[in-house]
Amino acid sequence: MKLNIGAGKSEISGFTPIDRANGQEACPLSYESNSVDEIRASHILEHFGHRDVPKVLDEWVRVLKPGGRIRIAVPDMRKIADMASDNSDPRWPLYAMGGQTDDNDYHRSLFTRERLEELMMNAGIEGIQPWQSKNTDCASLPVSLNLEGRKSPQGKPDPGSLVKVAAIMSVPRVGWNDAYSAIVEALTPLRIPITQFNGVFWGQCMQRAFEDAIEHGVEWLLTVDYDSMFTSRDVDKLIGALGNTPDMDAVVALQCRRGDDESALMTLKGKTSVQTDGTPFRVDTAHFGLTLIRMSAMADIPKPWFASRPTEEGTWGEGRLDDDIWFWHQWKEAGKTVYIHPECRIGHLQVMVSLFDDDMQPHHMHVKQWREKSKSDAR
């Protein structure tokens, strides 16, 4: 069963309309708990007073089945303010306060993305992200703020039982703005604070960041690289996997190697290829591009946690041990587990070279490939 709450005259195939005009109230709903597959509530939540909005969301989530989707659309206060400031749309007072044609046409609450996300999370909705309306209703208006999510099987969050999650990110002095904005957009709705650090000696900086997280009582630490591209849903998958698998000490997103689209940043008995049925699988080494670590597992990991080691010949070529791989070797020797989550596939931002080939068709290659081609062409 699917409900279209506040449907008015809008009919959507497969949805049961719920509207006062049809003699049905948007809240409370006359449905049993955990009985509805999906809810669509387009431009109805703003008609409730700000003190009542949390109760309305609780009621809508109550009837949803665990994992059921809810899509909410409301006027976006920031877009309305922009319209008012530049006079780009003279209808902005209607968007803010309603058309006021009758007693049901008044708006009593205002929303920003941050506020709506927080309200949805507090109601037990997870995996929150934007959605686009394919119908010609208010949700398709440029002023509309559209967010969707799913009912958490764990129910509403209990502040007293929440795991303290924090993130750390190594950043260069000059970095990728595209990645940074994606990282902020992913972590903000989940209310995960992020601490940045930079320095010449990455391993030393990482160990200090780990020690600082432990000192501040962080229970699960999310490590992020400055060139990783991911969403809130990716982070949510890692959190869900770690929370539902007690013997999992660390879980890592699946990510391509830089300059090598054929292999993953991981090793499993020396291999870097991935063949999986979609469930998390154990590996020997991984990366820190998007990695969630259970910090209680750090208690018996000998220090230094990060260090580098040259080859037996004392060189730093093939066969050396870098800081990140050192960590995973220490991790495995201490009996800790690390898994790759193949359903959490994130991007690796890279520099590409685009040029025309002999047929004047655009061709794209990694910088390493371009250098090899240039050397070959020069011979």
Read off the pLDDT of residues 177-206 as tens digits, 9 standing for 90 and up. 899 999 999 998 788 999 998 888 999 999
Which of 96-100, 150-154, 228-232 is predicted with the least confidence, judged by mean pLDDT?
150-154
pLDDT at 8 exceeding the cut of 80 = no
Class of residue 36 by CB neighbours under 10 A (exposed 0-12, middle 13-18, buried 19+): buried
Mode of pairing for the β-strands spanning 256-257 and 260-264: antiparallel
- Concatenating the DSSP letter of every residue in 22-40 gives GT--SSS-SS-TT-EEEEE
Measured at the CA of 282, the angle between CA 278 and CA 284, to 5 degrees, comes to 135
Q: 2-151 with 165-348: one CATH topology?
A: no
Q: How far apart are CA 52 and CA 64, in angstroms?
A: 19
Both tokens of 336, joined, read: 């800790």
Q: How far apart are CA 292 and CA 43, in angstroms?
A: 37
CATH architecture of the domain with range 165-348: Alpha-Beta Complex (3.90)
Mean pLDDT, all residues of the chain = 90
Helices marked H in 100-143: 113-122
The pLDDT tens digits for 323-354 are: 999 999 999 999 999 999 999 999 999 888 99
Judge contact between 199 and 208, C-beta under 8 A: no
Q: CB under 8 Å to 256, separation ≥6 — which residues? A: 263, 264, 265, 348
82: pLDDT confidence band, cut at 50, 70 and 90?
A: very high
Both tokens of 259, joined, read: 């300059």
Q: How far apart are CA 349 and CA 179, in angstroms?
A: 7
pLDDT value of position 200: 87
What class is the 2-151 domain?
Answer: alpha beta
Domain segments of the chain: what residues?
2-151, 165-348, 351-379
Residue the block writes with tokens 């320095």: 199
Strand order through the sheet with 250-254: 194-197, 165-170, 220-225, 290-294, 250-254, 338-345, 281-282
pTM (global) more than 0.85: no
CA-nearest of 352, 356, 357 to 371 is 352
Q: How far apart are CA 34 and CA 37, in angstroms?
A: 8
Judge contact between 182 and 169, C-beta under 8 A: no
Judge contact between 308 and 326, C-beta under 8 A: yes
Class of residue 112 by CB neighbours under 10 A (exposed 0-12, middle 13-18, buried 19+): middle
Give 275 or 89, the one with higher predicted confidence.
89
Q: How far apart are CA 371 and CA 367, in angstroms?
A: 6
Q: Which residues pair with 167 in a beta bridge?
A: 194, 222
Neighbour count for residue 154 (Cβ, 10 Å): 14
104: pLDDT confidence band, cut at 50, 70 and 90?
A: confident
Residue 21 phi, psi (nearest 5) = -65, -20
- Sign, CA dihedral 150-152-158-164, equals negative
Mode of pairing for the β-strands spanning 2-5 and 16-18: parallel
The pLDDT tens digits for 144-164 are: 999 999 998 777 776 655 678
**How confident is the model over 70-92, as a mean pLDDT?**
93
Question: What single-letter amino acid sits at 144?
Answer: S
Give 376 or 225, the one with higher predicted confidence.
225
Residue the block writes with tokens 């870098």: 322
